[in-house]
Amino acid sequence: MTTLMDDLVRWLGEQLDEDERIAKMASAGPWTRHVGRITGGPEGRVLVAQQAQAWNADHIARHDPARVLREIEAKRRLLDDYTVTARIRDEAAARIKAAGDHPDPKDLETWDRAQREAAILEGPVRLAALPLADRPGYREEWRP
């Protein structure tokens, strides 16, 4: 049985995989904005922007593929931290349940610590998914 957070972690991981795939297909940066154009990539690719669209050129240059990949890595580290902590919590809970009336005090301590850490990490995981709330599959119950 999966939990709400299991579903969120899986969905967010899929979104990061797709963002990474697209960023790796894009021309490498750094992208820079010059008056009316954006240049970047090994081919010196030039995107022309009319003066009225200068803010679009600024946005594209600021969000080059290298930056996107760094953001993906940061979010993956957060997901990994949450996943490891939740696994430790769940394994301790299983040992406590199996022990019946005589659980190991170390398992109780491990469960308590991991439960607190998982609760702390849950908020940042939900926040990491929030910018992607317009994508298919996002569930309102994940919203922080």
Domain boundary among 40, 62, 84: 62
Domain match, 96 and 39 both: no
Q: Is 133 helix (H, G, I), strand (E, B) or coil?
A: coil
pLDDT at 26: 78
pLDDT at 64: 80
Domain match, 128 and 77 both: yes
The answer to whether 83 and 9 are in contact (CB under 8 A) is yes
Q: What integer is the mean pLDDT of 119-142?
A: 97
Q: What integer is the mean pLDDT of 113-128?
A: 97
Domain match, 80 and 101 both: yes
Domain boundary among 62, 85, 112: 62
Domain match, 94 and 121 both: yes
Q: Is 93 helix (H, G, I), strand (E, B) or coil?
A: helix
Residue of 33, 55, 54, 29 lying closest to 43 (CA atoms)? 29
User: What is the count of structural domains for the chain?
Assistant: 2
Domain match, 87 and 113 both: yes
Domain match, 71 and 130 both: yes
The answer to whether 4 and 138 are in contact (CB under 8 A) is no
Domain match, 78 and 137 both: yes
Higher pLDDT, 40 or 18: 18
Only one residue has tokens 């922080």, namely 144
Domain match, 99 and 69 both: yes
The answer to whether 17 and 26 are in contact (CB under 8 A) is no
Domain boundary among 13, 47, 62: 62
Q: Is 46 helix (H, G, I), strand (E, B) or coil?
A: strand
Domain match, 72 and 12 both: yes
The answer to whether 46 and 39 are in contact (CB under 8 A) is yes
Tens-digit pLDDT profile for residues 24-62: 887 766 666 665 555 565 555 555 544 445 656 666 767
pLDDT at 78: 98
pLDDT at 80: 98
Domain match, 101 and 76 both: yes
- Domain that residue 47 falls in: 27-62
Residue 47 bridge partners (DSSP): 38
Domain match, 8 and 43 both: no
The answer to whether 83 and 3 are in contact (CB under 8 A) is no
Domain match, 70 and 46 both: no
Tens-digit pLDDT profile for residues 68-108: 999 999 999 999 999 999 999 999 999 999 999 999 999 99
Only one residue has tokens 């240059």, namely 61
